Chains A and B, each alone.
Chain A
Amino acid sequence: MFAYLAKRVIQAIAVMFVISLIAFAIQGNLGDPLRELVGQSVSEEVRQQLRDELGLNDSFVTQYLRFAGNALQGDLGTSYFFKEPALDVILKKLPATLELVFGATLIIIGFSVPLGVYTAIKPDSILSRIIMGLSIVGISIPVFLTAILMIFVFSVEYGWFPSYGRGDTVHVWGYWQTNFATADGWMHIILPSIALASIMLPLFVRLIRAEMMEVLQSEYVKYAKAKGINPWRIYFVHALKNTLLPVITVGGVQIGTMVAYTILTETVFQWPGMGFMFLEAVNRVDTPLIVAYLIVVGFIFVVTNTIVDLIYGLVNPTVNIARMGA
């Protein structure tokens, strides 16, 4: 177990090193940060002076070594726009994003399991066909379109939900402000969560359905049926448990992908999380913030995958974590 974790930590450092190198290599092509920092009539001379001050005229290697040296001491640079350490800016925005991902995950888990199991048990019923049809639609509509449609239907036409932002939040701890403590907060998080879930939910319904149908054909399910066990017990206890392994694997990877999808959802809903912040940073060529974001997201990927591996061992005792460390 310990060897496994140690190996993972080393992997994580390597991954983040590669990400930082790539992020650093592309930043030269993102544009000129000076444009967003100075007014239109500022002379070229003053611009060059500022570039010197920011160290933008140094060679790639010099810039990277300076960055890497600071990064080892926990300093990922200072955002041009926020004028604060990039890591602080991201950590302040992280809770909003994680709450949104959490909200979407609740929706996905809450709906995908019953829908997936139902469509597997009764594949030919009308309701199953409707669910499968809708899932195709859901998977094909881009997130930002779903989001804008929902705003126009539920905020503008019906006025049921607020159209943007986080609303009333309650301070929990550190930078963490939560949406889940007030009615207003709940109202604000519902639409963005549904929008974010709209891509993943159909995927999971289809995945659970496919796995479930396979398991239902297996010998032990037939035997259980023959034995006269309550069908619901067979479906939800015996069969479902064995469909979960692939679902967890895909789920772990998808949580990372969902963090990426928050870029679109947060932008449309003006959700003050780090996805929206990233898109803004790209527009403003706020390179320190872009690099820091990519490193943090890389870190989140590594952590979720590690957790998935650990859960794997709990669900399936034949997987030996200790041996994975060897």
Chain B
Amino acid sequence: MTKFVRSLAAAAVVAMAPVAYAETTVRVAYDADPVSLDPHEQLSGGTLQLSHMVFDPLVRWTQDLQFEPRLAESWEQIDDTTMRFKLRSGVTFHSGNPLTANDVDWTFDRLKQSDDFKGIFAPFTDVEVVDDMTFDLKTAEPYPLVLHTATYIFPMDSAFYTGTTDDGKDKAEVVKHGNSFASRNVSGTGPFVVSEREQGVRVVFDRFDGYWDADAGNVDKIVLTPIKEDPTRVAALLSGDVDFIAPVPPTDLKRVEEAEGVDLITMPGTRIITFQMNQNRVEAFKDARVRKAIDYAVNNAGIVDRIMRGFGTVGAQASPAGYLGYDEALAPRFDLEKAKALMAEAGYADGFSITMMAPNNRYVNDDKIAQAVASMLAQINIKVDLQTMPKAQYWPAFDERAADMMMIGWHADTEDSANFHQFLTACPNPENGNGQYNSGNYCNEEADALMDAANAETDPDKRAELLQKLEGILYEEAAFIPLHWQNLAWGSKSGMNAAEIVNALNFPYFGDLVVETGS
């Protein structure tokens, strides 16, 4: 056969091959890229977004905050402190190793060693392997948040991460600030494999051929680029250079919504923005009437309307709708006359002077919100000396409790109401870590008792009652000033069905994305 004929034949073979293989690529731009490929190095939104692409959790949250089985096919409570999980069969890791209960056990032990995750897993004692496909997740005491926590268990490929690297380091080690094996190599069960990564520039994901949930989505390739600047990220979407962006800044919501060929997707978020009033620094803040007066003076609906341009949900408590502690009877307070009356009643009709601090690059419009609150307080004769600063400087100042009123936003890692109280308003106690972010030093033993009771109560209805009562006390005593829950916003090219894969937790499930290919 001559060369010419051979190449003709080759061309014919190519031509006859099924043409169905048109690659679907989605280009994604976030404001930051994941810090590491190690799912246990840092507990952050970026890490979890990556985990949902490269790994699979045992269970995951649906859009309406229910649990959906993933690698765990089913589960049952077998006694007060044991939940038995059955694993899905036929699941393989990217390396080709099959998933077994031993991998879950191994992953659990690693989570317990991670500085960032061990807090969440503190109530859990062990994973006991029953057989290859079955394991028991055990807690020390009856614990209501077993499934909540199971959303954080992304089984890792224990065989892949076992052994030593060429330079003699343990492949399993979790290293915060170093070049560990797990921070650069990854083998999960997830829909995508990482095929290329240049930190801070781009990450390329290719569809995992052996993915167990074969008919989930139709995206073959995802290119993730971090674009830090808000206007540039929006411009990249509008000009068609990328297909999906997050977040969309409030100033550009209208623009993205009205632009052709582009969809805006928004959803109420779960991060509450608050101010805390330091009772150790200001005597007047010990008086609940003064705290309430401040709450009445702050027009949080006005802040959402004017500063957030509607991009937030006005809050009166910490728990957002959908959480057990959410009580719709608690309404946002705003009444200047009442505020002035309360100040007079407490003996502070002439007001006083305080200092206030807020970050200027941590939450959406954080510095503008602080300015608005400061001027609102001037109306009840509280003179505010406001200082705003970048988050890098703000957090050390917050740790020192450096001002009389300080801003803090909080998202509950457990997606549970008790977490807000534990970190923000519980009596500060370095022993058990309660009130780690309670710069107000608010302390109410009844409230703490309700939290402890709720954390030992496994019946959801009784728990809801306890947690709502807790929120009621914090509201009545104006333990802190709730402002709003920040909304979430994504922008996508039309026809991507991106609205199906996003959720209030901000972990888009790209594995399930079905892009209309136009054929």
Contacts and interface: CB of A to CB of B under 8 A. Distances in A.
A28 B408 CA distance: 23
A44 B433 CA distance: 8
Interface in B358-399: 361, 390-396, 399
Contacts of B391: 31, 35
Interface stretch (A134-142, A222-230, A238-246, A264-272): A264-272
Interface stretch (A15-23, A75-83, A204-212, A304-312): A75-83
A295 B43 CA distance: 33
A38 B239 contact: no
B430 interface: yes
A93 B199 CA distance: 11
A162 interface: yes
Contacts of A234: none
Interface stretch (B58-66, B175-183, B207-215, B337-345): B175-183
A43 B433 contact: yes
B116 A267 contact: no
Interface residues of A, number: 46
Given A31-B393, A35-B391, A37-B42, A272 B201 contact: yes
Contacts of B390: 31, 283
Interface string A140-157: 000000001001100110
A151 B232 contact: yes
A165 B176 CA distance: 29
Contacts of A36: 392
B159 to A, nearest CB: 25
B270 interface: no
Nearest to B183: A83
B179 A31 contact: no
A105 interface: no
Nearest to B179: A83
Interface in A204-262: none
Contacts of B119: 41-43
Interface residues of B, number: 49
Interface stretch (B16-24, B141-149, B223-231): B223-231
Interface in B101-121: 115-116, 119-120
A82 B176 contact: no
B97 interface: no
Given A38-B176, A83-B177, A272-B201, A283 B232 contact: no
B240 interface: yes
Contacts of A90: none
A43 B422 CA distance: 13
A164 B42 contact: no
Interface in A1-59: 29-32, 35-44, 46, 50, 53-54
Interface in B161-219: 176-179, 183, 198-201
B148 to A, nearest CB: 14
Nearest to A155: B239
Contacts of B396: 31-32, 35
A31 B359 CA distance: 12
Contacts, number: 134
Given A163-B241, A164-B232, A270-B232, A31 B392 contact: yes
Interface string B387-418: 00011111110010000000000110100000
A277 interface: yes
B235 A152 contact: yes
Given A38-B116, A159-B240, A50 B392 contact: no
A80 B413 CA distance: 24
B392 A30 contact: yes
A148 B436 CA distance: 41
Nearest to A151: B235
Interface string A182-212: 0000000000000000000000000000000
B178 A163 contact: no
B515 interface: no
Nearest to A167: B241
Contact of A40 (B178, B226, B239, B413): B413
B238 interface: yes
Contacts of A81: 35, 199-200
Nearest to B119: A41
Contact of B395 (A32, A269, A282): A32
B89 interface: no
A54 B116 contact: no
Nearest to A83: B179
B423 interface: yes
A43 B392 CA distance: 18
A288 to B, nearest CB: 10
A37 B36 CA distance: 11
Nearest to A50: B176
A41 B235 contact: no
**Nearest 5 A-B pairs (CB), nearest first?**
A31-B392, A39-B43, A39-B116, A155-B239, A35-B395
Interface of A: 29-32, 35-44, 46, 50, 53-54, 78, 80-84, 148, 151-152, 155-156, 159, 162-165, 267-270, 272, 276-277, 280, 282-285
Given A80-B177, A270-B227, 19 more contacts: A30-B393, A35-B391, A35-B395, A38-B115, A41-B43, A44-B433, A46-B115, A53-B177, A78-B177, A83-B177, A83-B178, A83-B183, A159-B240, A163-B241, A164-B235, A267-B228, A283-B361, A283-B390, A284-B392
Interface of B: 29, 35-36, 42-44, 115-116, 119-120, 176-179, 183, 198-201, 225-229, 231-232, 235-236, 238-241, 361, 390-396, 399, 410-411, 413, 423, 430, 433, 436-437
